[in-house]
Amino acid sequence: MNENVAASPHPLPRWDLNDLYADPDAPQLGRDLEDAGAAAAAFAERYKGKLASLDGADFGRAIGEYEVLSESLHKVLCYGQLLFAVNVGDGEIGRFYQTVQERISDIFTQTLFFTLEINRLSDGELDAKLSDTQCARYRSWLRDVRAFREHQLSDDLEKLLHEKAVTGRAAWVRLFEETFADMRFALDGAEATLSEALNALSDHDGAKREKAAKALGGRLGENARLFSLITNTLAKDKAIEDEWRGYPRPVSERNLHNQVEDVVVDALVGSVKTAFPDLSHRYYALKARWFGVERLDYWDRNAPLPDDDARKYSWDEAKTTVLDAYAGFDPQMAEIAERFFTHNWIDAAPHAGKDSGAFSHPTVPSVHPYILMNFHGKARDVMTLAHELGHGVHQVLAAEQGLLMADTPLTTAETASVFGEMLTFQSLLKGAEDPARRRFLLAGKVEDMLNTVVRQIAFHEFERRVHDERRGGEVAVERLGDIWIDIQRESLGPALRFDDDYRHYWTYIPHFIHTPFYVYAYAFGDCLVNALYDAFAKGHDGFQQKYLEMLKAGGTKRHRELLAPFGLDASDPAFWKRGLDIVSGFIDELETIG
């Protein structure tokens, strides 16, 4: 069904996972698991119950051994994840991935004591160990591990929760993924995947958009009870664990992982909600006027403008567009991004059984990231490529920190991806001499920003309300639909019209299932990048070098330290307004253009 990319002179890329393993039966994969099992047993024998007695040098060496062992296990797990992502509907691949998860969980259980014992060290004991340079290298990782001290349970309970994860949360997530991989939507006499059906919602043909919307709503509604069960089960599972661990709110654990204070997230959410009328309500009212109607049907929310030629991009055009934009900012960024194309680190071809989303998986520092996306030839797909390559560049630069410290919290993980989008957009905008083309580009960017900021905060509010209500008992599928519709009306405004089919669209949002309360990180990252780009556009001295250093820091610094060189502070309410004003300014220009 992917006729809109048929003009590409080359087939869309499929990634080459050989840098991880040749295939699921590769002898090296089996040997790595065997070696990791033996290493984990030896590690436990050597260090369990003894961390307090180690001097700084020995403690540093122990962390180094833990990092090597963790990387070995992560490499196998990442291979399973990537293989499954492009073969979600393949039962044999699903079995392999589940087996790998269970095997790794069993091995890692032997090392679970390590972080638990680290959190039982007193501040004084840890400070003494950190006086050694070998140990001090891991200072930021130790800081992040110990952030969870007060929420840590007994060793036996931690072990039980870890071992049961593969038959608990992970099993429900797998059910969600496999259900959507097998699901098909009737479109124009053919059976479309979720990715193809969602893509049709931005088709130039209004009748096709409506058919896709109805097909999506109908099929999602047929499965709504199953997704309600999954959602309720996972929300209750989280509530039980949150209560045991003493988290005051459902979002609190995610905020701790994101290394951001509850009050900062509350300020972000409050700022965006206050801006709904100035942003989404105003823009969709403008778009309705462009369509010559008082209100837009929900399937027209992401529709091309009536006079837009809906230009299609070949894969080569998308590649050149993004790489040129990156090179215009800094040659090193473009050089790193180009590796993804030359070494087959991208899987872009849509096909049945493939994950419908997009991601850049960092895998492990000793290998490299891999990007998954579904390229349909639209301008939004070019922006998705720019987004995921931003992640990829970030992950390559941060890899020098090592496995334990390369990973960034979600709040700053979106920085490079959204910045990459902004660079690409501004590059396209500069080349748009035709006023009509400029309007199309601006409208597309505004819609992407509304989807990233307004839409994701609306998703966050949906999650918050669902988890809050779940504490009082199971939330009925009808009530889930009510919450969804209420929030859509509040966030998108009176210029959008919804029908009953739209009540079930909450079911396909994977972040609700995979990573509870992930979604606000997109809005955090978008507003952060808008503020950063504003500093860059105003000629901030040495911006490029400071930016690359920020990416290289990986997870070693928190948002305050990362933003300080640019004179920015996310705890300042003016910071969020500065980011939202960028979106508002684009809408101002669109109103002027008419």
Structure tokens at 393: 């560049």
What is the β-pairing status of strands 185-187 and 190-192? antiparallel
CA distance 283 to 271: 17
Strands of 158-230, DSSP E: 185-187, 190-192
Judgement on whether residues 118 and 259 belong to the same structural domain of the protein: no
Of 313, 310, 306, 307, nearest in space to 206 by CA: 306
Question: Is residue 157 domain-shared with residue 40, that is, in the same domain?
Answer: yes
Structure-block tokens of residue 425: 């957009």
Distance from the Cα of residue 563 to its chain's centroid: 21
Q: Do residues 437 and 577 both lie within one domain? A: yes
Check whether residue 433 and residue 575 sit in a common domain: yes
Quote the CA–CA distance of 426 and 424 in Å, as a whole number.
6
- Does residue 557 form part of some domain? yes
One domain for residues 300 and 417: yes
Alpha carbons 403 and 73: distance in angstroms, whole number:
11
Quote the Cα angle for 549-550-552, to 5°.
Answer: 60
| Residue-level pLDDT at 119 | 94
Specify the pLDDT at position 7. Answer: 45
Q: How many domains does the chain have?
A: 2
Domain of residue 437, CATH code: 1.10.1370.20
196 in a structural domain: no
Same domain, 146 and 56: yes
At 295, the amino acid letter reads R
Q: Is residue 71 part of a domain?
A: yes
**Assigned token pair, 46:** 């050597």
The label of the residue with tokens 């109607």 reads 293
According to the 3-state scheme, what is the secondary structure of 282-348?
HHHHHHHHHCCCCCEEHHHCCCCCCCCCCCCCCHHHHHHHHHHHHHHHCHHHHHHHHHHHHCCCEEC
- Are both 144 and 236 inside the same structural domain? no
Same domain (yes/no): 583, 473? yes
Q: Tell me the chain's radius of gyration from C-alpha atoms.
A: 24
412: Cβ–Cβ under 8 A, 6 or more apart, which residues? 525, 528, 559, 562
- Those residues whose C-beta lies under 8 Å from the C-beta of residue 228, and which sit 6 or more positions away, are 475, 476, 477, 480
In a domain, 207, yes or no: no
Residues 6+ apart with CB under 8 A from 78: 20, 361, 363, 364, 367
100 Cβ contact list (under 8 Å, min separation 6): 76, 77, 79, 80
Range of the domain at 547: 177-183+223-307+409-594
Closest to 316 measured CA to CA, from 112, 73, 582, 12 = 12
Query: Quick check: is 562 in a domain?
Result: yes
445 in any annotated domain: yes
Per-block mean pLDDT, blocks of 10 residues, the chain (594 long)? 46 96 96 97 97 96 97 97 92 93 93 94 96 96 93 89 89 93 90 90 92 96 97 96 95 91 89 95 96 96 83 93 97 98 96 87 97 91 95 97 93 90 92 84 92 95 97 96 98 96 95 94 90 92 96 93 92 84 94 84
What pLDDT is attached to residue 573?
75
CB within 8 Å of 124: residues ≥ 6 apart: none
Closest alpha carbon to 440 in 275, 431, 384: 431
Q: In whole angstroms, how far apart are CA 461 and each of 37, 257, 272, 280? A: 43, 19, 11, 16
- Tell me: do 569 and 499 sit in the same domain: yes
Is the pTM of the predicted complex or chain greater than 0.85? no
Q: CATH number, domain at 138?
A: 1.20.140.70
Domain assignment present for residue 47? The answer is yes
- Are residues 577 and 455 located together in one domain of the fold? yes
- The verdict on residue 1 lying in a domain is no
- SS3 at position 192: strand
Collapsing DSSP to helix, strand or coil, 185 comes out as strand
Residue 402, phi-psi category: left (phi > 0), alpha (psi -120 to 50), beta (remainder): left
Cα–Cα dist 140/276, whole Å: 37
Report yes or no: 13 and 349 within 8 Å, Cβ to Cβ.
Answer: yes
Cα separation, 403 vs 480, whole angstroms: 39
